A = this chain, B = another copy of it.
């Protein structure tokens, strides 16, 4: 019986070494109409967050490309950009903080951003590797009751999209938490662990509002 406990534990490990299938969003071409809306699980009044996603795009570095947009009636509350100079940036209702990171490519990258209002500490992670820490928007609070848009940058609450800034490629596993996850937890997520689930956005239970040419396909993640 003691051995059976051990074998049970080993069996769990075997399962953990397998793979899971998740939904993935494909944006085949540049448009000003294709996007996917996501509904947060709770009001996005945020004094801290971790936002993660997996991204593959062959768009050249010399193009401003939107990776994530959360907008209320009044403001772009949280936009994530790949900038003209190839850097990764995010903006909280004005201003921006930039990180020089390796370029995105046809290969899928796991990317996370963390921000904490109390210190302003901001970092990005790509494929488990953590960036330098920068200070940005200390004391700020992200406002609730907006809309999360993937694939386009809304210039007002209802739309007005600019195709030149649209996302082209594949994006999945978009999860968001209302706290800063530890480095080791983010590394675990990169390597395929499925917990903790996002308490603001949870990819496994999220419902998508799919518009234009955006498609939802299946993708294997290995653990």
When the two chains form their complex, are residues B220 and A183 in contact, meaning their CB atoms are under 8 A apart?
yes
How many copies are assembled? 3
Closest Cβ of chain B: how far from A162's Cβ, in Å? 23
**Hey, which chain B residues are within 8 Å of A132, CB to CB?**
56, 58, 106, 169-170
Neighbour of A129 across the interface among B101, B107, B183, B184, CB < 8 A = B107
Bound together, the chains give a CA A220 to CA B222 distance in angstroms of 26
Interface of chain A residues 79 through 107 with chain B (CB within 8 A): 99-103, 105-107
Binds B, one of A5-13, A66-74, A142-150, A206-214: A5-13
Q: State in angstroms the CA–CA spacing of A107 and B108 once bound together.
A: 17
**Chain B residues positioned under 8 Å from A126 (CB to CB):** 107
Measured as residues with beta carbon below 8 angstroms from the partner, the interface class of chain A is: 35 or more
Contacting residues, chain B, for A131 (C-beta < 8 A):
56, 105-108
Smallest beta-carbon distance A69→chain B, Å: 22
Decide: A10 near B10, CB < 8 A? Known: A100-B106, A124-B106, A220-B184: no
Q: List 5 A-B contacts (CB under 8 A).
A: A9-B10, A56-B131, A107-B131, A132-B170, A183-B220
Given contacts A58-B100, A107-B124, 17 further A-B contacts (CB under 8 A): A3-B5, A18-B184, A56-B131, A99-B106, A100-B105, A101-B106, A101-B107, A102-B102, A102-B103, A106-B131, A106-B132, A107-B126, A108-B130, A108-B131, A109-B129, A184-B220, A184-B223
